[in-house]
Amino acid sequence: MTQVTLSGLTKIFDQKSPPAVDNLDLEIESGKLTALLGPSGCGKTTTMKMIAGLLRPTAGDILFDGDSILSIKPEERGAVMVFQNYLLFPYMNIADNIGFGLKMRKVNKKEIRSRVQDMLDLVQLPGFEDRKPNQLSGGQQQRIALARALIVQPNVLLLDEPLSNLDAHLRDEMRVLIRRIQTEMGITTVFVTHDQEEAVVLADKVALLFDGRLQQFDAPDSFYDTPNTVDIATFFGGTNFIPGYYLDGTITTDIGVFDAPNSLVPEGDAVLSIRPEAVDLGEGGENSVSGTVLSHVYAGRYARFQIRIGDIEIEAVTEPGQVKLFADGDNIPVKFDPDKIWVLGPNTAEQPAATTG
Amino acid sequence: MTTAPAPLPGIAPRTIGRTTLRWAGIMGLLAFLVAPMVPLFIWSISFRWFYPDILPSEYSARAWEQVISPTNNVIGATGQTTLIALLCTVLSVLLGVPAGRALGLHNFKGKRIVEVLILAPIIVPGLAVVLGIDTMFIRYGLSGNILGVTLVHLVPTLPYMTLVMSGVYANYDVDYELQARSLGAGRWATQRYVTLPAVFPGVVVGALFTFLISWSQYVLTLLIGDGQVETLPILLFNFARSEPAIAGALSVVFILPGILVLLLSSKYLSGDSAAVGGIGNI
Ligand SMILES: Nc1ncnc2c1ncn2[C@@H]1O[C@H](COP(=O)(O)OP(=O)(O)OP(=O)(O)O)[C@@H](O)[C@H]1O
Ligand SMILES: [Mg+2]
C-alpha cells in the first residue's frame, strides 16, 4: 500500500509554451482508485509519466509514503504505468509480453509460466499465450497490457486511458474488472480519463485538470453538487446558470431573488447554478418564480422541459407523471430548491482553486 | 514485392504461399543481377572467343589458375578488401546507429543542417571530398595503409548507415522503452530486449550494404591507398584492359558478396519487419 503525494509538481517542455503541468498538489490515497480527469492535452499523461519516473519534473516533488522518490529509477519505483496505446512488444508473443516484468525480476521460468496463466484467466483471455499482439483486437491488447502490469504486483498502478478504445459493452466489463482487481489487490491506482462519467462511475476521488492546473480534487458527486467554478460545472455539463449578485445567503438575479443558504462565495457578482433535477415545476411559495413551458420531451424514465423565465431559458427534469400536467405555453410556478442552489464565482480567474499555491 | 492479403486477426498468415512468392521474387532478382555476369564467366574460361561466335571456340582454365596463383595476389587482395570492409562496417555501425537514433528520435536545434551535412558526402562526388582530405591524410600518416583506406571508406558508408538508422528510428516509438523501464527493465535490459529486436533488421540491412559499399570502392582506395593498398576493385581495373579473361574471373569473385548480401538481407527486405519501413525514407 502506498500513498502518493505530488507537491508543486511542474513540467515545462518548452519555455515558449505554458507549463504542461503547473504546480500540481495532490494527495493520492493509499489503496484507493483516483481518477485524473481533464480534456485532451491538459497534462494527464505527463503527470503519470512523472510519477512513473519516465519523465523528469521541471520542479516540485513526488513522494511515496512521505519519501521523495525523484532519485529512484523507474524500474525500482514499484509504480507501473500502462500506456494509452498499450505498447505490447510486437515481436514477443502474449505470454512473453505478460511475463516480461517477472523475467526482468529474474523469476524462474516455471513460475513465470504459471503466473502468466493466472493473469490470462484474470483478464479473461485464457489460451492466448502463443498469439502475437497484432493478432489481437484493440480491447484484447488493452487487457493484455493490464495483465502485464498487474503481474508484477505494483505498489502503484498508473493506467492511462485504459478504456478509451473499447466499445460500450467491453468498457462496462473492463470497468468492473479494473474495480474488482483494484479492490482485491488494494493497489493504489491512478487512472486517466477525459470522460467525466467514467471518472465518476469508477473512482473514489477525482482530480480535475485544466491546462495543467488542478481545478478540483474531490469525491465524484461533489463535481455535480458543489463544483468550484463555472468551468468545472460546464465540463460536467447539464446545469442551468443564472447570473446575479450574491450577498449573505441570497442571490439576486434578473428573474428574482433566491435563497442559497449553502453557498460559500464572497459578496459580489456571482452565478446561480441549479441542476435540472432540482427545479420543481408547479410548486409555488418561497424561492419560486413564474415561467412559461416552451417545450417538453418525454424520455422514458423522466421528462425534460424547456422553461422560459423572463429573458432566461432553463431546463427542468421531472417525473414522467408530470408530463400530462403541463402543456406547452402554460404559465406555471417554478421553484428552485434552496438546498440545491449552488452559487459560483463569476469567472475562473478569480476562483481560489485555480490559483492554488 | 509480394502482395499477400493482410492476415485476419486470430488467423495465422498463409506462410506457404508467401514464402513461395518471396523466393520467386528473390530468384527473379538474382537472375536479373547474374545475367550480365554470364558473359564475364564465359570470358574467364575462354581461350579463343571471336566475333561472330556465340560461344568461345576454345576453353581454358588459365584465368582461374592465374586468380589462384600467388603471383597475382588475388587471394591477398580479397582478404584485404574483406578486412577493410569489415572494419568499415563495424565503425559505421558503432557510430551510425547512435547518430541515426539522435536524428530519428530527437528534435534539436540545427537538426536540418545536420541532415544536410550528412547528405553532403553523398551529393558531392567522393572524388572531390577525397582530394580535399588527401593532404591531411598524408600529414597524419594515413595515406597508403589499411587504416587510412578504412577511414576514407567511412565517407560514403557512415552517412548511409546514419540515414538508414534515422529512418528506422523515425518509425520507432520510444515509449516502448519507457514501458519496459516501468515494468522493471534496467537500461541495458531495455536495450537488449526491446530496442535491439526492434531496430535489428535495420542494423543488419544497413551493415550488409555498408560492407558492399566499402567492398566496391575504387577511387577512394586508389587515392588514399596510394598504390600501397591493393583491393579487388584495384586489381580488377588493372586487368580489365590487358587480360579480359582474368578480369572476367575476378569479376565473378567480385560480385559474390553482393549476391550473398542479397540472400542474407532478403529475409529483412521482404519480411514483415517494421524496421524495414525506415529504408524507404532514404
Ligand atoms: N515530449 C513533449 N514535448 C513537448 N511537449 C509535450 C511533450 N509531451 C507532451 N507535451 C505537451 O504537453 C501537454 C500535455 O500533454 P499530455 O500528453 O500530458 O496531455 P494529456 O492530458 O495526456 O492529453 P490526451 O488526453 O490527449 O492524452 C500538451 O500540450 C502536449 O502538447
Ligand atoms: Mg494522454
Cα–Cα distance between B276 and B270 in angstroms, integer? 8
CB contact under 8 Å between B9 and A54, yes or no, is no
User: If you take atom 5 of ligand 1, which residue's CA is the nearest one?
Assistant: A13
Q: CB under 8 Å to A4, separation ≥6 — which residues?
A: A26, A28, A51, A62, A63, A64, A79, A156, A188, A190
pLDDT at B205 over 60: yes
Residue of A153, A207, A198, A160 lying closest to A179 (CA atoms):
A198
User: If you take atom 6 of ligand 1, which residue's CA is the nearest one?
Assistant: A13
pLDDT at B267 over 80: no
User: If you take atom 3 of ligand 1, which residue's CA is the nearest one?
Assistant: A13
CB of B18 within 8 Å of a chain A CB? The answer is no
pLDDT at B271 over 70: no
> What pLDDT is stored for residue B269 in this prediction?
61
* Burial annotation A86-108 (CB, 10 A radius, 16+ → b, else e): bbbbebbbbbbbbbbbbbbeeee
Percent of chain B whose pLDDT exceeds 90? 23
Q: Please report the DSSP string for A172-209 in residue order.
A: HHHHHHHHHHHHHHT-EEEEEES-HHHHHHH-SEEEEE
Confidence at B270, pLDDT banded by 50, 70, 90:
low
Cα–Cα distance between A346 and A355 in angstroms, integer? 15
> What pLDDT is stored for residue B268 in this prediction?
66
- Give every residue of chain A whose pLDDT is below 70, as ranges: 322-323, 347-357
Contact A24, A47 (CB under 8 A): yes
Choose from A60-69, A340-349, B166-175, B195-204 the range with maximum mean pLDDT: A60-69
> What pLDDT is stored for residue B17 in this prediction?
67
CA of A83, nearest ligand number = 2
Walk me through the domains of chain A, giving residue ranges and CATH numbers: 4-220 (3.40.50.300), 238-355 (2.40.50.140)
Domain B72-281, CATH:
1.10.3720.10
Q: Which of A75, A135, A152 sits opposite B181 (nearest CB)?
A: A75
Which 156-195 residues of chain B touch chain A by CB within 8 A?
Answer: 173, 175-176, 178-186, 189, 193-194
Rg (CA), chain B: 22
Closest-CA distance, A137 to chain B, in angstroms, reads 7
- The pick from A46, A49, A83, A209 for probing ligand 1's pocket by mutation, whose C-beta has the most ligand atoms within 8 angstroms, reads A46
Cα–Cα distance between B25 and B33 in angstroms, integer? 12
What stretch of H or E contains A6? Answer: strand A4-11
Q: Please report the DSSP string for A41-98 in residue order.
A: TSSHHHHHHHHHTSS--SEEEEEETTEE-TTS-GGGSSEEEE-TT----TTS-HHHHH
Which 53-72 residues of chain A touch chain B by CB within 8 A?
Answer: 53-54
- The pick from A15, A24, A44 for probing ligand 1's pocket by mutation, whose C-beta has the most ligand atoms within 8 angstroms, reads A44
Q: How many CB atoms lie within 10 A of CB A60?
A: 19
Contact A122, A178 (CB under 8 A): no
Confidence at B158, pLDDT banded by 50, 70, 90:
very high
Q: Would you list the domain boundaries of chain B? A: 72-281
Contact B278, B105 (CB under 8 A): no
Which burial class, exposed, middle or buried, applies to B236 when counting CB atoms under 10 A from its CB (0-12, 13-18, 19+)?
Answer: buried
From A87-91, B38-42, B74-78, B143-147, the region with the lowest mean pLDDT: B38-42
CB contact under 8 Å between B183 and A52, yes or no, is no
> What pLDDT is stored for residue B236 in this prediction?
85
Q: CB under 8 Å to A1, separation ≥6 — which residues?
A: A30, A31, A155, A186, A188
Contact B42, B34 (CB under 8 A): no
Confidence at B278, pLDDT banded by 50, 70, 90:
very low
Atom of ligand 1 nearest to the CA of A84: 27
Which residues are near ligand 1 (CB < 6 Å)? A 13-14, 20, 38, 40-46, 84, 194
> What pLDDT is stored for residue B16 in this prediction?
57
Contact A282, A333 (CB under 8 A): yes
Q: Above 0.90 for ipTM, yes or no?
A: no
> What pLDDT is stored for residue B14 in this prediction?
47
Reported pTM:
0.79
